[in-house]
Structure 1
């Protein structure tokens, strides 16, 4: 279980990092590139979280 938890922690940290970096993107990209990058990074941790719950 620890290994799986570590994967989730890394995916979650990736999401936080992407949000931090994308704050500096131009405002013209707010609904384009910024939104797309943020959604894709959060899907990583959400997808793992769903699979972990299904295994229980």
Structure 2
């Protein structure tokens, strides 16, 4: 059910359009490496469905 909703409201074609618009974060030395970046596609779909 949720997967169908994701495919309907945030299809891969929409990601293909949005991905180039997302700026790449600058690389910098981090003191704390505990924070990891999530999968951009998963985060994008979460924003679209919010």
Q: Same fold (TM over 0.5)?
A: no
- Larger relative CO (CA 8 A, sep 6+): 1 or 2? 2
Question: Which structure shows the higher helix fraction?
Answer: 1
| TM-score normalised by L of structure 1 | 0.28
